Amino acid sequence: MPVRLCTADSNFETEFATFLGAKRESAADVTEDALRIIDDVRLRGDAAVIAYAERFDDQRLTPNSLRVPEAEILAAAEKAPAAAREALTVAAQRIDEFHIQQMPADLELGGSDGVGLGYRWSPITSVGLYIPGGLAAYPSTVLMTAIPAGVAGVDRIAMATVSPDDELHPMVAAAAQLSGVTEIYRVGGAHAVAALALGTDSIPAVDKIVGPGNAYVTAAKRLLFGSVGIDMVAGPSEILVVADRENDPAWVAADLLSQAEHDTNAQAILMTDDSAFAGRVEGAIADHLAGLERAPIASAAWKDYGAIILLDDLSEAPPLIDRIAPEHLELAVAKPESVSKEVRHAGAIFLGRYTPEAVGDYIAGPSHVLPTARSARFSSGLSVLDFMKRTSLVRCDASGLRMVGPAAAELAESEGFGAHALSLNIRLRDDGNSES
């Protein structure tokens, strides 16, 4: 059964700390397995990728069939139902419009004192999108990763995804088509991440890998960071719903299950100040589960990792929210905006009773790739900035160097770096006539 905590209990702090520290990954640590796969792909390239594809996903591939031909992408996209394609188009437009507003501006600061400063933004050259495809298809993740990359100006966007029978899922193909992605590889898992990071004869390396995945994918991304950039180390999905008694318990129950159905390791938390309301939500969850296709997954997640936190008063919520730092936070309360202003740590906040988290998963606009496992304490959801980098700009003329150079030389000498000091002092002795 879900954990039940109450702030009025004398042992609440101890139980809450235990709850926060609980591990949700059911599998044993897969780091060593992921490392062996990476080393093998580094050594054998395509041959290793093909071998792991057969071992883990029962695929029969060759170097020539690793990449999905553009004609196959187009043919698969045409099989997508018309209504679903139209919905994807609406989502793509909203995501594009939102991310255009995130584009950062370059900065150039004066220089009246002879020292000019600034920075310039530029896109990453190549990016790999990891799109899960084992238990379900995720065309929404294609949009949520590819569109921000395209807005940023990334030159090359490659995608790795695996699907049953090696046939590209029509909705994934349609999403790729809408996003302008034509480079798709039909592989998944840690071997796909390693191939994108290290490069093989058939899969050229990228500069950064983004997108969610299972424990093996996450471990591979963590191990390869440095050789390649990554967006985040993501874990199972999670949602925290803060709700008062004025809510329809069936609505709140559906919201909790919307994340629980992702994975048996997902986590759904209800925080409320009304014990009777919490009981009604539990009853509604049981009712919903009776009719959900993914009920076995959602039921296991709710039973093993779900939680109900009873508050004396809703004013207790913000500091507890910050300690949980949830991936998704719903504020189904009378004044959600005022509560949200007290929250510092959450991947995304959904304000009010008519804003279910699911609207953010598909169509609102911000990317649904968000920090999990309390990492919202120090990181943000995927954005245009994840596909760009900032380069500092510094320019001194002779007078500017004479102003700041002596202090820089003094600091260099204090650290024992004589060549640093020399590169400054040799210019400070110049009369400025040689300046270009």
Catalytic sites, residue numbers: 327-328
Q: Please, which residues bridge with residue 407 across strands? A: none
Query: What's the angle, vertex CA 229, arms to CA 224 and CA 233, rounded to 5?
Result: 70
Q: Residue 375: how many CA atoms within 13 Å on its side-chain side?
A: 17
Residues whose CB falls within 8 Å of the CB of residue 220, separated by 6 or more in sequence, listed in order: 34, 37, 38, 190, 193, 194, 197
DSSP string, 283-302: HHHHHHHTT-TTHHHHHHHH
Q: Tell me which amino acid residue 182 is.
A: T
Q: How many CB atoms lie within 10 A of CB 259?
A: 27
Place of tokens 């029969």: 60
Q: Tell me which amino acid residue 307 is.
A: A
Please give the structure tokens belonging to residue 108.
Answer: 């150039």
Q: How many CB atoms lie within 10 A of CB 366?
A: 19
Residues whose CB falls within 8 Å of the CB of residue 165, separated by 6 or more in sequence, listed in order: none
Residues whose CB falls within 8 Å of the CB of residue 191, separated by 6 or more in sequence, listed in order: 37, 40, 41, 48, 49, 52, 53, 56
Smallest CA-to-CA distance from 353 within 275, 246, 238 is with 246
Smallest CA-to-CA distance from 159 within 136, 193, 125 is with 193
Place of tokens 């150039």: 108
